[in-house]
Structure 1
Amino acid sequence: MEQNWDDLRLFLAVAREESLSGAGKLLRLDPATLGRRMARLEKSLQTVLFVKSPQGYALTEAGSDLMQRAERAEQAMRAATAGVPVQSDQLTGQIRVGAPDGAANYLLPQVCAAIAAENPGLDVQIVALPRVFNLSRREADMAIGVSAPTAGRLVVQKVTDYHLHLAAAESYLAQHPEVSAVTDLQGHRMVGYIPDMIFDRELDYLADLGVGRVALASNSVSVQVRMIQQGGGIGVAHDFSLAATPGVRRILTDAVSLKRAFYLIRHADDRRNARLAAFAEALAVGLRAETARLEAATAGQAAPKA
């Protein structure tokens, strides 16, 4: 029996999220309503698509087969709409961007606000989470990453390099022994990531410096920066974050200077979507410019008098 696209769209969400609640949040539908729709779909197909348990919804063999066909239909729908001419150069609709919270807190607000100002019909959602986003499950339309993924059907574009240095509050430095070499860090309180919550090897800065104990830790970059600003200790901070963090300065810049990169990651199926491509280009241009602007502002801050 032929199924309409709406049935397949809901089915794909449940199959990818493996739960009614997860799919319901994604689709903004009540889980009970979604459950009834899945039961109706199974009845119309006269087959069982899911094995239901307290752990969630797992696909049966028939469900896996339908998922493959539904994903082909999804790709065909995207391909059919990608080339539809628009009546205006402006972007419209909703676009969701996933990003680690450093980029989400210090860069994306300015960049996305500027894009939205030029496109009044556009709704931009920023999902700030300290983890890798799963674009296959459509957690976001695109994501910013700190390393280039090597698995999955993804399109990866390097956007820009960014820099990090050790930093501390003037108040902390005034009350503690001088830091003139990396070895001096052993006698200071360190601020950094919670070790078992580092979601990308590129973020394990302190381990590379031989720091064992992290006295003040958070999985959030912005929380770490606030800890540093409050005189909590010494930590590695993004240069772009320090432009908006008065009372904090970089230290040991000649000895410790880290460089990382931001990557824009999109699902391969979306490469022909003109709307998402236009937004991705605007986002990449904005991120490069804003990172450069803030890093220049940080580098230009006056050094304290000896």
Structure 2
Amino acid sequence: MDWDDLRVFLAVARAESLSGAGKALKLDPATVGRRVARLEEALGARLFAKSPQGYALTEAGQRVLAHAERAEGAMVAAAEEVQGAAGLTGQIRIGAPDGCANYLLPQVLARICEENPGLEVQIVALPRVFNLSKREADMAIGVSRPEAGRLRVQKLATYHLHLAASRDYLARHPPIRSLDDLRQHRLVGYIPDMIFDKELDYLTGLGSGSVPFASNSVSVQLNWLRAGAGVGIVHDFAMPSAPELVKVLPESLSLTRTFWLIRHQDDARMERLNRFAEALAQGIRREVLRLEGMTRPQIALD
């Protein structure tokens, strides 16, 4: 069995198409198809079932996938061992919810890359769960700890969220002295049917009805609040970037959530990713503490 054919097999399994795999490998789809056919002939089994939706793994393909991923991990680990433990190098892609991606990761990763000039980092900020088995990212940050899958999970940091609004909005609208008063105010929040994780369902239970200003993006929500659109839940670590905002009823409503770093189990032997994950964890913890500390002296407005 040729390792290069296994590498092509992995690319097709992750992209679920010959063209997608070819783009990732810089090969034309016909060559990718021939490599897959050669591997299937060598193994005496069909590895993919073609359908209008793309290439899906057969039962035999699923069995081969686990071995191919371990082989890939061993190859990467061997290369890292030979290269030694100098600075981190190469490209690492990290997926994250956009609150973390916008208000924490840029400064944390900038410092890591400054200490490791040979490192390239890509941030994929998407409001959904990432598929690490398909290598959409090398690692992902989530707000819920996954309970299934061949994953390695590490706690990154605990963070806090509060109701907030702009000073201008609060000056122009009825005072908010209790949670019941929110019924008289416009809320800013997530689009209800696009909440991809239960930990993001902040407004349920407030009894406030509809959300007139809704977006699947934390950044859009924050900018609506800055523009005086209404009242919404804001990450404490995002507050320093929006000086127009103040916390509302912090004694009555305070939410606590956790960021988790999620990696594929087979990556545990990759020293480069282990070192990057530790630097990332330390950086995020420090940054959350620093930014949240900047919001504590604020006094809630009536």
Normalising by structure 2, report the TM-score: 0.92
Give the match for residue 197 of structure 1. 194
Give the match for residue 253 of structure 1. 250
The answer to whether the 8 A contact 2:152-2:268 is kept is: yes
Aligned with residue 291 of structure 1, among 280, 288, 291:
288
Give the match for residue 180 of structure 1. 177
CA distance in 1, matches of 2:271, 2:151: 16
- Secondary structure of 1:148's partner? coil
Alignment of 1:146 onto 2:140: no
Alignment of 1:115 onto 2:115: no
The answer to whether the 8 A contact 1:78-1:269 is kept is: no
Aligned with residue 129 of structure 1, among 110, 126, 131:
126
String of CA shifts for 1:158-178, please: whole Å, max 9, x gaps. Answer: 111100000001111111111
The answer to whether the 8 A contact 1:168-1:249 is kept is: yes
Aligned with residue 269 of structure 2, among 258, 272, 276:
272
* Aligned-pair CA distance for 1:66: 3.7
Superposition RMSD in Å: 2.1
CA distance in 1, matches of 2:65, 2:296: 52
Q: 1:97 to 1:8 in 2, by over 3 A?
A: same
Give the match for residue 164 of structure 1. 161
Worse-matched range after superposition: 263-272 or 16-25: 16-25
Q: What's the % identity of the aligned pairs?
A: 60
* Aligned-pair CA distance for 1:28: 5.7
Aligned with residue 230 of structure 2, among 215, 228, 233:
233
CA distance in 1, matches of 2:107, 2:263: 21
* Aligned-pair CA distance for 1:283: 0.3
CA distance in 1, matches of 2:154, 2:133: 17
CA distance in 2, matches of 1:64, 1:241: 42
CA distance in 2, matches of 1:149, 1:125: 23
Give the match for residue 243 of structure 1. 240
* Aligned-pair CA distance for 1:79: 4.7
Give the match for residue 152 of structure 2. 155
* Aligned-pair CA distance for 1:44: 6.1
Alignment of 1:41 onto 2:39: no
- Secondary structure of 1:299's partner? coil
- Secondary structure of 2:14's partner? helix
* Aligned-pair CA distance for 1:24: 4.7
Q: Which amino acid aligns with 1:115?
A: I
String of CA shifts for 1:111-133, please: whole Å, max 9, x gaps. Answer: 00000001100001111111111
String of CA shifts for 1:20-77, please: whole Å, max 9, x gaps. Answer: 354355x2636xx134322343046436543323211123455445434423422433
Aligned with residue 6 of structure 2, among 8, 11, 34:
8
CA distance in 2, matches of 1:89, 1:68: 30
The answer to whether the 8 A contact 1:166-1:236 is kept is: yes
Structure 2 unpaired stretches of 5+: none
String of CA shifts for 1:173-232, please: whole Å, max 9, x gaps. Answer: 111111110011111100000001101100100013233201000001111000111011
Q: Which amino acid aligns with 1:191?
A: V
Worse-matched range after superposition: 240-249 or 50-59: 50-59
* Aligned-pair CA distance for 1:260: 0.5
The answer to whether the 8 A contact 1:11-1:38 is kept is: no
Give the match for residue 210 of structure 1. 207
The answer to whether the 8 A contact 1:10-1:34 is kept is: no
Give the match for residue 224 of structure 1. 221
Equivalent residues, number: 299
The answer to whether the 8 A contact 2:5-2:39 is kept is: no
Q: 1:165 to 1:28 in 2, by over 3 A?
A: farther
Structure 1 unpaired stretches of 5+: none
Q: 1:285 to 1:69 in 2, by over 3 A?
A: closer
- Secondary structure of 1:136's partner? coil
Q: Which amino acid aligns with 1:129?
A: L
CA distance in 2, matches of 1:265, 1:163: 20
* Aligned-pair CA distance for 1:18: 1.7
* Aligned-pair CA distance for 1:11: 1.2
